[in-house]
Amino acid sequence: MDKPQFRHLFHPKLEHPVFVEGLPGFGNVGKIAAQLLIEYTKAKCFAELYSPSFPDYVIVNKNGICRPPCYKFYASSTNKNQFIILTGDTQPSLEDVKAHYQICDQILDFAEKYGCKFIVTMGGVPTPQPRGEEIYVAATSEKLASENIDKGAILYRQGRIMGATGLLLGLAKERGLEGLCLLGSTTGFKADRGAALSVFKFLMKTLGAEVEAGF
């Protein structure tokens, strides 16, 4: 393998789904939030992406069967929205800038083929002492940012969002797509399910689908 490759398991029937990304990062907030969305919407994996830019190890399951690291794409539908959800095992090294651009471009090509016009990326923002359930927002337009501030988010002003969580949003804007980045406040020292749950609940709120109590 000398370049990223997709493997399709089936082709879902979707109409202008929302594309949602949650990959490993600070506190694994994005990845956990994506898993919560997958669980909540009963999403099914329909495609995988493999890349020679991913780290040189394999994932071994409880039965001792190994596989290379990959990204997985899930599809689901609710009364309010249809989704394509991206999550995965890893990201390329931050030093491999070309790989990040190449993979993010291919992901956006993939999303547009399924009619995605709106994307949401999710992650964690390192905070020495998180005060609670703060959600920070960046967006492709001032209007979108303002709308989400009105819903309780805090405008992200720190200057950079690393990895696919930031780059997908920036490249999507260049393609004329709209989107948001939602960041949960976390120390980043361990997997932060609390921050991820806050991001997931805010995502559903901003899409007009409040999460049922007790989830």
pLDDT score of 202 = 95
What's the predicted TM-score (pTM) here?
0.94
Percent of the chain with pLDDT over 70: 97
Residue ranges covered by each domain of the chain: 5-206
* DSSP summary character for residue 3: S
**From the DSSP assignment, how many helices (H) and strands (E) are in the chain?**
5, 11
* Main-chain dihedrals φ then ψ at residue 22, nearest 5 degrees: -150, 100
The answer to whether the CB of 196 falls within 8 A of the CB of 129 is no
Examine the pLDDT at 14 and tell me if it is beyond 80. Answer: yes
Q: Span 107-113, mean pLDDT?
A: 97
CATH topology for the 5-206 domain: Rossmann fold (3.40.50)
Examine the pLDDT at 129 and tell me if it is beyond 80. Answer: no
* Main-chain dihedrals φ then ψ at residue 214, nearest 5 degrees: 95, -5
Q: Span 176-194, mean pLDDT?
A: 92
49-61 pLDDT, tens digit per residue, is 999 999 999 999 9
Which residue, 163, 188, 162, is CA-closest to 196?
Answer: 188
Examine the pLDDT at 208 and tell me if it is beyond 70. Answer: yes
pLDDT band at 117; cut points 50, 70, 90: very high
Unique residue bearing structure tokens 């999710």 = 122
